[in-house]
Structure 1
Amino acid sequence: MMNKILVPIDFSEHSEFALRVAAAIAKKNDSELVALHMLGISDEGLTRMETQELQEAILNLKFSDAKFTDFLDRVYLNGVKIQNVVQRNKDFFEIDSIANKYEAGLIVMGSHGSKGLNEVLVGSNTEKVVRTSTLPVLVIKSPVVNFKFKKVVFVCDFKEDYTEPFRNAWNFFKPFKSKFKMLYINLPENFLNNQEMEEKAMEFIKRAGVEEFNFYKDMVFYNDYNLENGIYRYANKFNADVVAVPTRGRRGIAHFFSSNKGESLVNHSNIPIITFKK
């Protein structure tokens, strides 16, 4: 079980969606929340500031700290241990190092799509964290009541690159006793018959060394014309609480999501998405 959960906060409603979900996870697992707010003041900027500008920056820091405290005054946070962290820099590539510094096991972020807004928790900035994070990143797009990891769909195409993300996802969800489904979307351009899909899947699971995985119960082959639509349709049919996808560093969601479909999944799906890095 994770001891700490990092939640970036920008005071938007979407960051509160993430905060509420993180609180629900923390309560069920006796975890501590690390609430992070980034100001966007670089060390270089501080050294170049004139006296008046520096005083204004200090006042802004104090104002943000007070606003931060007020933002965290929520009934659903009662009983949850919270550590407030205010970071001067606003560099999304630093979030992973901050999470590791505070020994977090999960990052929970809010996101409201790729609108090009210059706020902390919008689609493009969420994707920066997803691409660079060594930790699982849970992306929340809309309000979720009583969030849980009860039903999980892990999207996979059985390539060797996805072996480690699969193992990581399996080990992550195992303590939650989640109903774990591995999903393969069978597309027309890469169509496989049943025997071919089963052989690929069995070889993948054997390579992963996850003996507890029940192939005949938890492996799902789903035919569709479009990868993203296939994921949505099955996830909705299964009433999934979260869709898990592998990532490959700065390339973002794994390469089987061609034409940025993976980024589209994070941006345009209201189902919570959790990413696991190779």
Structure 2
Amino acid sequence: MKRILVPTDFSEHAENALKVAAQIAIKNNSEIFLLHLLEIPTQLNDAITGAASIPEVMLFMKKAKEALRKLKEKDYLKDIQVTEKLRFERAFDGILSCSNENEIDLIVMGSHGISGIEEVLIGSNTEKVVRLSDAPVLVIKKGTKELKGTNFVFASDFSKEIKKPFKKMIEFSKIFDAKLNLVMICSPNSFKPTALSEKIMNDFITEYNITNYSTHIYNDVNIEQGIINFSNSVNANLIGLCTHGRTGLAHFFTGSISEDLVNHAVRPVITFKI
């Protein structure tokens, strides 16, 4: 993971994500792309085409560049190659396009977390990036300034379709020399007998050269709650899982475990696109 994208709105949440990205960059000799998106208010849109309010837009740009420069000078970024990016674009659109254009290997984002009707109707920018990003997305939760990563829970159904993202997960875990807690969650809606679950996991694992891991089967009322409760039981530092990136009506009716965890888990979450 040589190229890490860190979107920032200069908030405490975003800076915590940057600190974690710096930690990963030092361990992996990575470059950080520091991105700020300017979402110009509607009344200033004409300024982009050269009409009124150009001074206001120039002021926004100047202040954003100053803030990026100050952030780049932080001690924890010393000796790390940092490339600044400033774009006029909606947040999640700009993050995804910047990721694709620069062949980003990992996106690290801070999350404020949302719930209730706001979650249903709007969703967070972080949630949208998790759903649509081709690169893995690491979501840093409130108060996390360092990723220990030594106790890593990866939850899956261990089907054939996750083989490719599973390799990316192993690559990420090696950065921290993490212990992998591989878990299959069984719920009333996704029940499998224990013997079958064990066979699926064991058959899957034999294809990979990993040693520092354990396998678990955990029963709960639903998959999301099972992942959270299991992670609590092993005192995990990080939760990982795969996402299908569903959109439109399919996403509205089925929801996304990855996006729910991004909003509700208190631990950092990393997602890998199937």
Q: TM-score, normalised by structure 1?
A: 0.83
Question: Which residue in 2 is equivalent to 1:11?
Answer: 10
Tell me, yes or no, if structure 1 residue 240 matches structure 2 residue 241: no
1:82 maps to 82
Deviation at 1:21, TM superposition (A): 1.0
Counterpart of 2:20 in structure 1: which amino acid? V
Amino acid in structure 2 at the alignment position of 1:181: N
1:61 and 2:61 are equivalent in the alignment? yes
Q: Is the CA contact 2:21–2:32 (under 8 Å) kept in the aligned structure 1? A: yes
Structure 2: unaligned runs, 5 residues or longer: none
Residue 140 of structure 1 contacts residue 270 of structure 1 at CA under 8 Å; is this kept in 2?
A: no
1:222 alignment partner, SS class: strand
Structure 1 unaligned residues grouped into runs of 5+: none
> Identity over aligned residues, as a percent?
39
- Aligned-partner SS, 2:124: helix
Distance 1:180 1:230 in 2: 17
Aligned match of 2:154 = 154
- Tell me, in whole angstroms, the C-alpha distance in 1 between the residues paired with 2:91 and 2:146: 31
Question: What do residues 13-37 of structure 1 show as CA deviations (whole Å, max 9, x unaligned)?
Answer: 1111111111111222222211100
CA deviation digits over 1:67-125, x for unaligned, max 9?
Answer: 222344433223333211111222413423312433432110001112649xxxx9611
| Cα RMSD for the two superposed structures | 3.0
Kept after mapping to 1: 8 A contact 2:130/2:259: no
User: Does the 8 Å CA contact 1:181/1:220 hold for their aligned counterparts?
Assistant: yes
Pick from 245, 250, 269 the counterpart of residue 246 of structure 2. 250
Q: Could you tell me whether the CA contact under 8 Å between 1:184 and 1:220 is conserved in 2? A: yes
Q: Tell me if the contact between 1:5 and 1:32 (Cα under 8 Å) persists in the aligned partners.
A: yes
Match of 1:125 in 2: 125
- The answer (yes or no) to whether the contact 1:25–1:148 under 8 Å persists in 2 is no
Equivalent position of 2:51 in the other structure: 50
Q: Name the CA distance, whole Å, in 1 between partners of 2:258 and 2:107.
A: 19
Aligned counterparts of 1:153 and 1:196: Cα–Cα separation in 2: 21
Note the C-alpha offset of 1:7. 0.4
Distance in 1 between the 2:28 and 2:238 partners?
A: 17
Matched AA of 2:51: E
Structure 2-normalised TM-score? 0.84
Tell me the SS of whatever aligns to 2:15: helix
211, 219, 224: which one aligns with 1:223: 219
Counterpart residue type for residue 124 of structure 2: S
